[in-house]
Structure 1
Amino acid sequence: MNPTSQFLGTTEYDYGYDENTAPCNEGNSFHRFKSIFLPILYCLVFVFCLLGNSLVLSVLLTRKRLTTMTTMPDICLVTFAASDLLFVVPLPFQAHYASDQWVFGNAMCKIMAGIYYTGFYSSIFFITLMSIDRYIAIVHAVYAMRIRTASCGIITSLILWLVAALASVPNIMFNQQLEIEQSVQCVSAYPPGDNTWKVASQFAANILGLLIPLSILICCYAQILKNLQKCKNRNKIKAIKMIFIIVIVFFLFWTPFNIALFLDSLQSLHVINDCKASYQIALALQLTETISFVHCCLNPVIYAFAGVTFKAHLKGLFQSCVRVFSSPVGGVGAGRLFPSAHPALWLL
């Protein structure tokens, strides 16, 4: 079984559809890719995502403090960083699994699947929420003052967390530890002869993980671009560039995986019923899903470190750390992370 995609229930490596025919072989190159390259990549993604998002949380919680987070963007960035961290929690387990077999038990198999999928959905949901918040702040600035509050951000975030958790329930139900060909695996075990749950889960990932979020991103940022065209602010060009970066990066990192996931759904429905095509789809799923993991490492750069105000607070945090180590008394100031009078600044 695929060492990553079993969490998504995406593919099986016994490619025969007719039980009377011999299964396809996955090939030595595929096995080497899984056992050597994947553990290294998973560990690198885990380390960089952990460092980047932990730094974001550190800046937010020390320079802003929880008690002074009074706007939706403050809450969004905290929950967004937390969802990215949640998304990569299973990667150390997956790194070991890719190099050997599943040794963590059936309960951990289900728990890791739930954590992975909740992080998968919530991370994309919060990207979408931040885009909507930017749209409201820039296009409907007057209305934004009433709705972009911390309480609204908390309620919205809780709802998105709940939806993400509910979307992960089928994966928790079907994921289990099984012994396959003398190897212990953590796999999605669907009812025999019925691909309904598998296909439904994959279509849900396509719809909730790409189609709806990407559509919202395009609509929001198209309106923001129109609004910025009328603005004479000298930072307008930087804001426009950042908009294109956000949409393009999201599209490039998540579209290939969703295409491969859709093709695997067609394979489960027997629309695609060819041994060679099955192997290619399995390889595409593994490669594209691995590439999509890198997106959580880029999120802190795109959504936090690129912002001029955030960089100022980051600099302040480092200066505070230097003062702590260089003098017996060190203080950390608190200020507004995103001045509501200039909502376009956190696009920069």
Structure 2
Amino acid sequence: MSTYFEMNQTSELYENSTVDYAYETTEYIYDESNTPCQKEDIKKFASKFLPPLYSLVFIFGLVGNGLVILILIKYKKLRSMTDIYLLNLAISDLLFVLSLPFWAYYAAKEWVFGDQGCKIISGVYFMGYYGGIFFIVLLTIDRYLAIVHAVFALKVRRLTNGVITAVVLWILVIFVSFPGFIFHKAQKEASHYTCSPHYPKKAENSWKLFFILKMNILGLVIPMGIMIFCYTLILKTLFRCRNEKNKHKAARLIFIIMIVFFLFWTPHNVVYLLLAFHDKGSLNNCESSKNLDLAAQWTEVVSFIHCCLNPLIYAFAGEKFRIYLSSIFRKLIPSQYHCAYCLSHPAEKMERHSSMYTPSTTDHDISAVI
């Protein structure tokens, strides 16, 4: 993922930056005024605005995804392909949020974690981002097979296949994220240290454009296209089912997944496309450059929040996960505060119910959605 700390150097306008964050804010001699574009106010805003928000995303992302991993391993025992994908989605989000404290400190101060730290944290960050997106796509395909091609799904939706697919996808994630390890470097600029991408000088603009297009194609266009295709056919199949209650619940959840993904990621990608080409036409001025910097900060934080919502959308929205979560909290809360009318052992009852039900080859597995 090309982040704001990478994107700040995606244009010829950005040669020096004042916004700490793997870039500084640009000083560029504009043709008309022949004066530098001062962005000290952007830097001060980022140093106050970004650290607390990154910290909140870190806390909620850590707790939410940590609970998903706990439930999948301790209660669900990773019995299905879907469980494997949910586990890897949670791991991806954890990788992503674990890098945020470093970027929060960087936004407030400067980079103090050395050159190797710059490379490792940047690489982990990108792995978390691409891993999260790719496993969301994989979960979408898994749901598509379970509902639209139910008979075929019985043959392929096996635990072993899930593990193999997850391993292959992680290899792809590492490959896509590898430039983050290679190009990010820590170096002293002016009076402080930065962590930012440094591309080969002879092909610098080509590399920058490549990473912008990679982010948009792999991070939005392809995932969104697959989701629209799969969920459209899923909805058509669901509305032919007889289970009125469950199919409407599943349809609502599908719309939530689509809308949330679109709203949280589209502004982020659009802003970075504009940043890539902001030296062209009407955007080639200091005021537009400042506005794009601010927009990049806001949209990036909004996109970060998505990793906190993944546990709610993909895990806790399901009845089984809610029951397992209830069981965890029941163990943490003293027994005298338990509800007298609640199930005594909700997780165990859910397991017995699941083990007694086996779908026939003609069933559409709506539980794959809800």
Q: Same fold (TM over 0.5)?
A: yes
Match of 1:343 in 2: 365
Partner AA of 1:298 in structure 2: L
Q: 2:70 aligns with which of 53, 58, 61?
A: 58
Task: Find the aligned partners of 1:10 and 1:56 in 2 and give their Cα distance.
Answer: 37
Check 1:97–1:72 CA distance in 2 against 1; reply closer, same or farther (3 A cut).
same
Partner AA of 1:260 in structure 2: V
Post-superposition shift, 1:165? 1.1
Q: 1:90 aligns with which of 91, 99, 118?
A: 99
The answer on 1:276 being equivalent to 2:284 is no
The answer on 1:196 being equivalent to 2:196 is no
Q: After the TM superposition, which residues 24-173 of structure 1 pair with which residues of structure 2 at under 5 Å, given as runs?
A: 24-28=37-41, 30-65=42-77, 69-173=78-182
Match of 1:218 in 2: 228
Partner AA of 2:365 in structure 1: P
Check 1:46–1:203 CA distance in 2 against 1; reply closer, same or farther (3 A cut).
same
Task: Find the aligned partners of 2:97 and 2:296 in 1 and give their Cα distance.
Answer: 18
Q: What percent of counterpart residues are identical?
A: 43
Partner AA of 2:224 in structure 1: L
Post-superposition shift, 1:266? 1.8
Post-superposition shift, 1:10? 5.6
1:197-223 deviation per Cα after TM superposition (whole angstroms, max 9, x unaligned): 111011101000000000000111000
Range with bigger deviation, 168-177 or 53-62: 168-177
Post-superposition shift, 1:23? 3.1
1:66-106 deviation per Cα after TM superposition (whole angstroms, max 9, x unaligned): xxx23210101110100000111111111111111011101
1:219-263 deviation per Cα after TM superposition (whole angstroms, max 9, x unaligned): 110001101111121211111100000000000000000001111
Match of 1:264 in 2: 275
SS at match of 2:201: coil
Task: Find the aligned partners of 1:76 and 1:196 in 2 and give their Cα distance.
Answer: 35
Check 1:303–1:224 CA distance in 2 against 1; reply closer, same or farther (3 A cut).
same
Range with bigger deviation, 255-264 or 277-286: 277-286
Task: Find the aligned partners of 1:314 and 1:54 in 2 and give their Cα distance.
Answer: 12
Check 1:249–1:279 CA distance in 2 against 1; reply closer, same or farther (3 A cut).
same
1:166-198 deviation per Cα after TM superposition (whole angstroms, max 9, x unaligned): 111122211111212211111112233631111
Q: Contact between 1:10 and 1:261, CA under 8 Å: does it hold in 2?
A: no
Q: Contact between 2:7 and 2:272, CA under 8 Å: does it hold in 1?
A: no
Match of 2:4 in 1: 5
Of the two, which has the highest radius of gyration?
2
Post-superposition shift, 1:161? 1.1
Post-superposition shift, 1:26? 1.5
SS at match of 2:277: helix
Q: 2:219 aligns with which of 197, 209, 214?
A: 209
Q: Contact between 1:10 and 1:202, CA under 8 Å: does it hold in 2?
A: no
SS at match of 1:195: helix
Partner AA of 2:317 in structure 1: A
Check 1:116–1:268 CA distance in 2 against 1; reply closer, same or farther (3 A cut).
farther
Query: Which ranges in structure 2 are unaligned for 5 or more consecutive residues?
Result: 15-24, 338-344
Partner AA of 2:4 in structure 1: S
Aligned residues between the structures: 339
Query: Which ranges in structure 1 are unaligned for 5 or more consecutive residues?
Result: none
Q: Contact between 2:58 and 2:97, CA under 8 Å: does it hold in 1?
A: yes
Check 1:107–1:270 CA distance in 2 against 1; reply closer, same or farther (3 A cut).
farther
Partner AA of 2:268 in structure 1: F
Taking structure 2 as the reference length, the TM-score comes to 0.84
SS at match of 2:70: helix
The answer on 1:305 being equivalent to 2:316 is yes
Q: Contact between 2:64 and 2:311, CA under 8 Å: does it hold in 1?
A: yes
Post-superposition shift, 1:6? 2.0
1:85-135 deviation per Cα after TM superposition (whole angstroms, max 9, x unaligned): 011111111111111101110100000110000111010001110011001
* Superposition RMSD in Å: 2.9
Range with bigger deviation, 315-324 or 110-119: 315-324
